[in-house]
Structure 1
Amino acid sequence: MKILVTELMWGDGIEELKKRGYSVDYDMELSRKREELLTLLPEYDALIVRNETKVDSEFLETAKKTQAIGRLGVGLDNIDLQGAKERNIPVISARNANATSVAEYVMAAMLDASRSLSEADADVRQGNWNRKFFTGNELGNRTLGLVGMGEIAHRVAKRAKAFGMNVIGFDPFVAPFDHVVQETGIRQVNKLEDLLKESDFISMHVPLMKSTKHLINRKNFSLMKQHAYLINTARGGIIHEQDLVNAVEANQIAGAYLDVIEKEPIEKDSPLALLKSIRLSPHIAGLTIEAQSRTAMLIAEEMDRVLKGGHSLCRVN
């Protein structure tokens, strides 16, 4: 059987597939070469993608031999799940494989906002010794608001609690006795507006869908504290980016840490890149060496299971 990998996949997962008898073709840039990708699809029995490959109706119609699709991550907004289901093509995600890495990114963002060591380093290298200027803030007793309370939010909450933070959460799909509440001591709020008003840091942990598109917008920015920071490791479309730029410029909030944006890679004239208070990274929250390996191995193992007719707990459709 032939498997095509269209985006970055750690080598140990590829080697695992080969050990199990599969022929694997790997081109980490193929997601950006649409026409070439479409010509190749009919040859393959299975496909492995990340977030850039658009698995839409045209893609699925062309992939006539495909028996399974593996997603190196958990976001599924680039995959037509219903279309895959109609064609009886299982879609497998790397369930929770990078959750710890994303949680640690959120902690890193809050620490950076409180104690900017990179800026202090740059200033000292210029011959300065501005101790008062670089007086920061402690995370202890600050309030972290989690929008969405799934597995990643659960791990963020555990780490934030270890720093002595107050953690509140909003998620209409989480019940009061679910583990994320009971095991971490998150205080649930019933309204998003209440979370935004109370939080010093707001971290997004919801999927991108019709109901969450531009969930954080001009109206919501007006509710936030002036010193609040917004952190987004979920999906770019959740935040209205121009409204964010306006809020930062108007000093409604202190800034933001965006690992994801609506159009990736970032456009050259994006207003997000003009503001120092908006920190950007290239969709790397889940990209640690450990998470890359776990993700690749999980998809390799689950892909093999499905192709051999077995059941996978990582199947999403």
Structure 2
Amino acid sequence: MYQIKTFNAIAPEGLAIFNNHYEINKTEDADAYLIRSVDLHDHEFPKNLKVIARAGAGFNNIPLDRATNHGIAVFTTPGSNANAVKEVVIAMLIAASRNLFAAAAYSAKNSGADISLRAEKDKTKFNGEELTGKTLAVIGVGHVGSLVANAANALGMKVIGYDPYLSADAAWQISMAINRANTFNDAIKDADFVTIHVPKNSETTGMINTQTIAAMKPGATLLNFARGGIVDNEAAIDALNTGQLTSYMTDFGDDVLLDRDDVVITPHIGGSTAEAEVNGATKGATTIIDYLETGNVHDSVNLPSLAVPFNTEYRITIIHENIPNMVGQITTALANENINIESMSNAARDKVAYTIIDTNHLQTKQVDELVTELDKISSVYRTRVIEK
């Protein structure tokens, strides 16, 4: 019986995926956590914890290095809220081009019997432009960016995508009508709107800064519904003050952005829809089940991807450091226990490696001995034996 613990309100559709081999919130010493936004940085992981799945694309609430050192696989659910974010971005593009927020604020302050006459006189100050024919630069065309690019293209916009890390799978999702830029500057130099859809990491933090904004078309509108910190907000304010940017729309608040008519802030609601919560919960639950029952790895943020058919009676999985002679030490330990290897797969990601070994020749009484023997190897984080 596997034990699952949740910390946030998880959509019941996701919890319903767990079958009779799983219990939910029955113990603190869980095999798996299914979470959303809970901050685990100061959390003490129980010894039994093998996997954390976050229903969402971000993972800055999880201490990855500490999880890895404990032999805990960490997963996200990329794409589960992509459509929700896409719809918000498209809504913001329309709102920006038609000055909808300013017009609504005006109407809210000018009620009364003569509102129609007064509005008729003043409404020219809210004249906007149509999106058709305008140029949109989409920086990052993965799960969200590809949807935004396709939707904007359907609205008649000229769309230019830029993503130096574009995967083959993501490329299949992009309309042939989307132009692909070879450089960041090529993408933004003629864009009326620039929208950011990249993960936050050491390379992307502050990627929209004074220099990159200066390379944009004067008067552009900037949108950030990816992650806070990707845009240097001080630089954005300076650009708004000089007219280099016309407006800035973001899902991430900052004191420097407050009380400005040319800034629209939403409270991190890009992926907050009932449908996205269901998608994240169901994908998170499915990921947990697959990892616990087969050891296969997809969409992990701390382990390499590795998935092989499970056709034997037993599967041994080892999370370990990516250093020389690890495979030799592992196979020697199996040989010492007189265990025959039917198949073996190994993959690495930066400093972490993952090995899957399938066998039909493991006796139940050998399991504890084998785990103990493998865990004696100083560079092994965790060993698991899965019986089919």
Could you say if the C-alpha distance between residues 201 and 19 of structure 1 is closer, same or farther in structure 2, counting changes exceeding 3 Å?
farther
Task: Give 1:45 shift.
Answer: 2.4
2:6 is aligned to 5
1:105 is aligned to 88
Contact 1:10 1:296 (8 Å CA) reproduced? yes
Question: What is the TM-score with the length of structure 2 in the denominator?
Answer: 0.68
Q: Between Structure 1 and Structure 2, whose CA radius of gyration is higher?
A: 2
Could you say if the C-alpha distance between residues 52 and 207 of structure 1 is closer, same or farther in structure 2, counting changes exceeding 3 Å?
farther
Contact 1:71 1:93 (8 Å CA) reproduced? yes
Could you say if the C-alpha distance between residues 54 and 202 of structure 1 is closer, same or farther in structure 2, counting changes exceeding 3 Å?
farther
* Deviates further, 170-179 or 220-229: 170-179
CA distance in 2, matches of 1:54, 1:200: 40
1:50 is aligned to 36
Contact 1:145 1:195 (8 Å CA) reproduced? yes
Contact 1:73 1:93 (8 Å CA) reproduced? yes
Task: Give 1:309 shift.
Answer: 3.4
Task: Give 1:307 shift.
Answer: 2.6
Could you say if the C-alpha distance between residues 307 and 176 of structure 1 is closer, same or farther in structure 2, counting changes exceeding 3 Å?
closer
Task: Give 1:293 shift.
Answer: 1.2
Could you say if the C-alpha distance between residues 88 and 180 of structure 1 is closer, same or farther in structure 2, counting changes exceeding 3 Å?
same
After superposition, residues 184-263 of structure 1 pair within 5 angstroms as 184-260=176-252
CA distance in 2, matches of 1:234, 1:15: 30
Contact 1:145 1:169 (8 Å CA) reproduced? yes
Q: Give CA-to-partner distance per residue, 1:49-75, whole Å, 9 cap, x none.
A: 3345244xx64x633221110111112
Task: Give 1:84 shift.
Answer: 3.1
2:291 is aligned to 306
Could you say if the C-alpha distance between residues 285 and 20 of structure 1 is closer, same or farther in structure 2, counting changes exceeding 3 Å?
farther
2:361 is aligned to none
| 3-state SS in 1 of match to 2:14 | helix
Could you say if the C-alpha distance between residues 19 and 237 of structure 1 is closer, same or farther in structure 2, counting changes exceeding 3 Å?
farther
1:66 is aligned to 49
Q: Which amino acid aligns with 1:10?
A: A
Identity percentage of aligned residues: 29
Structure 1 or 2: more helix by fraction: 1
CA distance in 1, matches of 2:60, 2:176: 29
Q: Which has the higher contact order (CA 8 A, sep 6+)?
A: 1
2:276 is aligned to 291
Unpaired runs of at least 5, structure 1: 26-39
Question: What is the TM-score with the length of structure 1 in the denominator?
Answer: 0.82
Aligned residues: 292
Q: Give CA-to-partner distance per residue, 1:198-226, whole Å, 9 cap, x none.
A: 11111111111111110011111222223
1:94 matched to 2:77: yes
Contact 2:144 2:197 (8 Å CA) reproduced? yes
Task: Give 1:232 shift.
Answer: 0.9
1:279 is aligned to 264
2:24 is aligned to 23
CA distance in 2, matches of 1:257, 1:275: 11
Unpaired runs of at least 5, structure 2: 304-388
Contact 1:43 1:65 (8 Å CA) reproduced? yes
CA distance in 2, matches of 1:132, 1:108: 22
Task: Give 1:231 shift.
Answer: 0.9
Contact 2:141 2:149 (8 Å CA) reproduced? no
CA distance in 2, matches of 1:157, 1:274: 31
CA distance in 1, matches of 2:236, 2:105: 27
Task: Give 1:83 shift.
Answer: 4.1
CA distance in 1, matches of 2:183, 2:143: 20
* Deviates further, 147-156 or 300-309: 300-309
Q: Give CA-to-partner distance per residue, 1:97-156, whole Å, 9 cap, x none.
A: 111111111101100101233433443351231332222110011111011121211111
Structure 1 or 2: more strand by fraction: 2
Could you say if the C-alpha distance between residues 175 and 308 of structure 1 is closer, same or farther in structure 2, counting changes exceeding 3 Å?
closer
CA distance in 2, matches of 1:236, 1:93: 18
Contact 2:139 2:196 (8 Å CA) reproduced? yes
